[in-house]
A = this chain, B = another copy of it.
Amino acid sequence: MSKYSIDGKPLTEMFKALSNPHRLALFYRLMNCCTPGTRCGMNETKRFCVGELHEGLDIAPSTLSHHLKELHRAGLIRMERRGKHIDCWLEPAVLVQLSQFFKPD
């Protein structure tokens, strides 16, 4: 039933991850954090740590953590510890592939 997938990640899981306003806001922030022409996470200065993503979101830290885990489980983002912080950036191919999925014709 979940036969539509990208790199083994079912599309339904991706859409479920993006169906929550908080998670969509997080995704959107990561979408727009890289300089034009580059991919998010390529240059490490253009990643966001969890704390930075938290700003202006008005949810508990545990809730934020839960949402990031969902985005990660869906295959939408990558996470990597960097000292006390954990950096987040978009899974590199995901924008191209989702854009392609909806592409008409």
Contact, CB under 8 Å: A39 / B104: yes
- Let me know if B24 and A11 touch, CB within 8 A: yes
Residue A22 at the chain B interface, CB threshold 8 Å: yes
Chain B residues, Cβ within 8 Å of A24 = 2, 4, 11-12, 15
Indicate whether A36 reaches chain B with its CB closer than 8 angstroms: yes
A105 at the interface (CB under 8 A from B): yes
Could you list some 28 contacts between A and B, CB below 8 A? A1-B21, A1-B25, A2-B21, A10-B21, A11-B24, A12-B18, A12-B20, A12-B21, A12-B24, A13-B19, A15-B15, A15-B18, A15-B24, A16-B16, A18-B19, A19-B19, A36-B105, A39-B104, A95-B102, A95-B103, A95-B104, A96-B104, A98-B102, A99-B99, A99-B102, A99-B103, A99-B104, A102-B102
Query: A residues bordering B, Cβ < 8 Å?
Result: 1-4, 10-13, 15-16, 18-22, 24-25, 28, 36-37, 39, 95-96, 98-105
